[in-house]
Structure formats: structure tokens, C-alpha cells
Amino acid sequence: MRTVPLAALALAVTASAQSSSITENTLAANIRFLAHDLCEGRGVGSRGGALARLYIATEFEKYGLQPGGHDGSWEQPVPIIGLTAKVKTPLTVRAAGSEVRFTAPEDYTASAAQPAQSTSWRSAPIAFVGFGIHAPEQNWDDFKGFDLKGKVALVMNNDPDWDPDLFAGRTRLYYGRWSYKFEEAARRGAVGAIVIHTTPSAGYPFQVIQAGQGREQFWLPFDANQPKLEIRSWCSEDAARRICDLGGRDLDALRLAAKKRDFQPVDLGVLADLETDNTVKEIEDANVLGVLPGSDPKLRDEVVVITAHFDHLGRGRPKRGDDIYNGGFDNASGAAAMLNIARACSQLPTAPRRTLLFLAVTAEESGLLGSKFYARNPTYAAKQLVANFNIDGINIWGETIDISMIGHGKNSLTDLAGKICSRLGRDLKPNPQVELGLFYRSDHFSFARIGVPAAYFKAGSDFIKNREGKRRVKRSYTAVRYHQPNDEFDERWDLSGAVADSRLIMECLLEAANADAAPTWTKGDEFEKLR
């Protein structure tokens, strides 16, 4: 029979007792404020975003945390470039005397990809490049020496997913992310790239993409030596089909050919024109940092980081008369969970052995900019950061027996979480949507990229009450509310699930903070070599 050391058992009992201070009412209070119309959707560089930062910093101070920001403040300034692109010349594709003019955002979106007053494609040839992947370790190259300079890449939003021995089978890697597609096209000298949207490959409907058209887009300051596109674009599947048809090609046949290693890029024989006039703005935003110093003289210099992004999309295209994208679930709920965990940890009779850093980051919705900036400019040496627990949405649908872990098996946090779940009578499940590449889509990815073992939990689906009914409501979120103005705080939410999951996350981070050994990557994982 396995025995548990008395000290570890005492810590577990204390953590469980203290986590009971996380309640539906305390979570609702934080969410209600952050998702209120007065915060105007917490857009980057906005008054509402600044209000959210002040609220979070005030809560940290109330809990007795120490400021972890710049010069003893609660904030780490994050310089951001805002680019607002207005289509001047609509996307027009022509070939052999025929021409098709597309409409934004019905057919496509266009955003400037460099800080210039004007960006354009002028008679740029469009080439279909399949998955747009160069992965020598997989013996996969979609380019095969094809010259993309001055061209526009038409690319699929996925990676090869039909063979478990190829890439990672259904589990999407970074190669399958749209951000990689744009980066790789830029590295190869393209002036632009068009990612073909499908709901299965993106994980959300085209309306989510459309919501960004004409909206200010945000970047960290540009590196003059970094290759850049002129314009980034998405298009609907129907628009992609029409582009291919104009060049006498069949989109489905092209996609089928792209599933073979011997695929060669296809010059579609069409030319594209697209031009945007851009407004360029320098913005000062910030991350908010609260610190609970560790109690162990030998381990207090090691840091467990808890992240949640406080930003959302601000004000945008009106839907049913509402132009405030409140982000109630995404991510007022996650920020609220982090605040509740911070408060509960600050009330422990003895602080954890390692230091806890509660980090509310900005501009996650704009490309993980806040966490990316922190990872490049950490307030502790990168080697001191031993683990990251990220919260991006917390369960608003009701208590579940299970909980899903994004990146299950990638590092020792999986075993740690499994141990906590077992103690709490819950089931730890691998991410059920491995094809969506969720490990690369939230702030924990920024920490993984500097070698920090990271974990991200999502709500389970084995509901204790009204199982099938709640599953249906949960499934509808992405189609109906994700990145839409109606993602608002709702008094009908069942926050019993948020309470249970927040308490579980708290126990996981305390387990990591009190363990004798720091977490490690699984041998052979893609991030192991970075540690």
C-alpha cells in the first residue's frame, strides 16, 4: 500500500481547505465586473482595458501580494503597434481575360502585415502550396525549391493528419497553425498568403474570421531584419474554389494531391491585386503582475507562473445593435479564476515553497502578444520559471466528473494533475479536440517556447447534472458566442463547474510549487531541448 508523507498530506489538506474560499459568488463578482459594458470589451490600448488592469492590480494589492512589475509597480509595460487596414483595392483575381472581384468580409479578409501607410499585391501570381509546410524531420517539404518571391501563397489550414506516424496524426502541431503559414510564406519572400478557411480545420465558423475585418490589428514592435508579408488574408472555401476555377484548377483535386509527399506547388496561372490604406499607431499596454514569495530558502528563487489573459476584442462590427465584444467567457471567466486562486493562495497559513507569479496578460487575442513579450523580457531569469498553469476560459456550464488537459502527456504536469484528480475523485482526460492544435493557441505556448513546462485545462463534458442538455449548450458556444458581442456574463451560468475546476487548478499549482523536484518535459517532446 502506497503511503503519503505526513508533510505532503498536511499541505494537501491545507490547500483543499483554503480553496473552499473559491465560490460561485466570488467568481461571479469578478466576471461581472470584467465583462461589464463599462470595460468596453477590454480592447488593446483602450480605456476599458486600462480599467481592467487597474481592477486586477487593485485585487492583487487587496490580497497582500507584492507588485511584480516594472520599478516596483503592478505593471510590465508592453509596447504594441496598432495597424488598421482599410481595403482600397478589393481582392481581384484575373486570368486569360476573365476577372473575379471578391468582397470583404463576405469572401475574404485583409490585414496589413507591416507598419506601412499602404500595403498591396500588384499583379501577384497566386500559387497553391498545399499545407505550406517545410519539416525536414518529417521528411516533408511542400515547397521543393519553388520560388515564392513576389507571389501569394494559397494554403490549407492544417497539417497532415491521416497517419499516426506522420507528424502527430490527428494531434495538430504548430505546423498546422495559421500563424505558421504566414510566417513560412514570409520567410520565402511571398508578398502575401491566403489561408483557406474551413470550420473543421479552424475549429470555428467563418464569422469569427469576418469579425476581424477592418478592426485594428496588433503586433509587437517589428524587427527590421524579420521577413514580412505585405498583406495577410483568409478566404472562405467557396472563394478559394473560385480562385482555383479561374485558373482552370479544381480545389478538391489540389487538396488531394497535397496529401502526398511528392506534391509540387502549383502556379494557378492567376494574378491578384489587393491594396489597403493603413493607419499605424504606437500603443502602450501592459501586463499585470502579482507575486507571492516562496517560503523555502532553497526553492523560493524558482517560480510557478499562473497566467490568464484579461483582454478581449473591444468594440467592433455591430451584431444586433451591440458593438461591445465583452468576452465574458473568453476570458473574463479565466481572469476571475486566476484572481480567486490568487486570493486563496494569499490566505494560506504558510506560503508555498516556490514563489507564485500571478500574471494577467494583454493582447492574447492579437497573437499572444502579452505573454510573448513577457517570455522575451521575463522579470525572472527564464531558468527560474519552472512551470506555467494557464487559464483561458473556466467551466461555466456546471460541474463535471472529468476535466480536459491541453498538452496531455507533454510534460510531468500530466502526472501531477492526474494525482490531484485522483485525490479529488475526478478523471483527467486528454484534450478531445487534438486536431485543433489548442496547445499553440493560448498563452502557455509562449512559455513552452522558452522551455517552461506548461499546462492548460478545459472544461470536461461528463456533467453531473443534466448531462446531455449541458453538453448541447457547451457545444453551441463556439458556433454562437465565440468572439461575438453576445459572449456576455449571464446570471444563468452554472458556476459550480468553475468552482470545482478553479479549486483543482489551485491544488495543481500548489503541488508544483511544493514538490521537491521541478516539472520536466517528457523525453523526446518538441520543447524538451529548450529547457
Q: What is the CATH number of the domain that holds 56?
A: 3.40.630.10
Instruction: Decide if 119 is inside a domain.
Output: yes
Predicted local confidence at residue 50, as pLDDT: 98
Q: How many domains does the chain have?
A: 2
Check residue 3 and report its DSSP letter: -
Predicted local confidence at residue 20, as pLDDT: 85
Q: Tell whether 122 and 152 lie within a shared domain.
A: yes
Instruction: Decide if 33 is inside a domain.
Output: yes
Q: Tell whether 133 and 16 lie within a shared domain.
A: no
Predicted local confidence at residue 96, as pLDDT: 86
Exposure of 352 in the CB half-sphere (CA atoms within 13 A): 29
Pick the last residue of a domain from 213, 247, 280: 280
Q: Tell whether 420 and 463 lie within a shared domain.
A: yes
Is the whole model's pTM more than 0.75, yes or no? yes
Instruction: Decide if 72 is inside a domain.
Output: no
Predicted local confidence at residue 19, as pLDDT: 78
Residue 307 pLDDT more than 80? Answer: yes
Tally of CB atoms within 10 A around 429: 18
Residue 9 pLDDT more than 90? Answer: no
Q: Tell whether 505 and 445 lie within a shared domain.
A: yes
Tally of CB atoms within 10 A around 478: 14
Residue 443 pLDDT more than 60? Answer: yes
DSSP labels, 344-390: HHHTSSS--SSEEEEEEES-GGGTSHHHHHHHHS-SS-GGGEEEEEE
As a whole number, mean pLDDT of residues 300-326 equals 96
CATH of the domain at 227: 3.50.30.30
307 contacts 443 by C-beta, under 8 angstroms: yes
Predicted local confidence at residue 13, as pLDDT: 59
Q: Tell whether 512 and 487 lie within a shared domain.
A: yes
Rounded Cα–Cα distance for residues 390 and 392 (Å): 6
**Which pLDDT tens digit goes with each residue over 353-389?**
999 999 999 999 999 999 999 999 999 999 999 999 9
Range of the domain at 18: 6-64+293-530
Predicted local confidence at residue 267, as pLDDT: 98
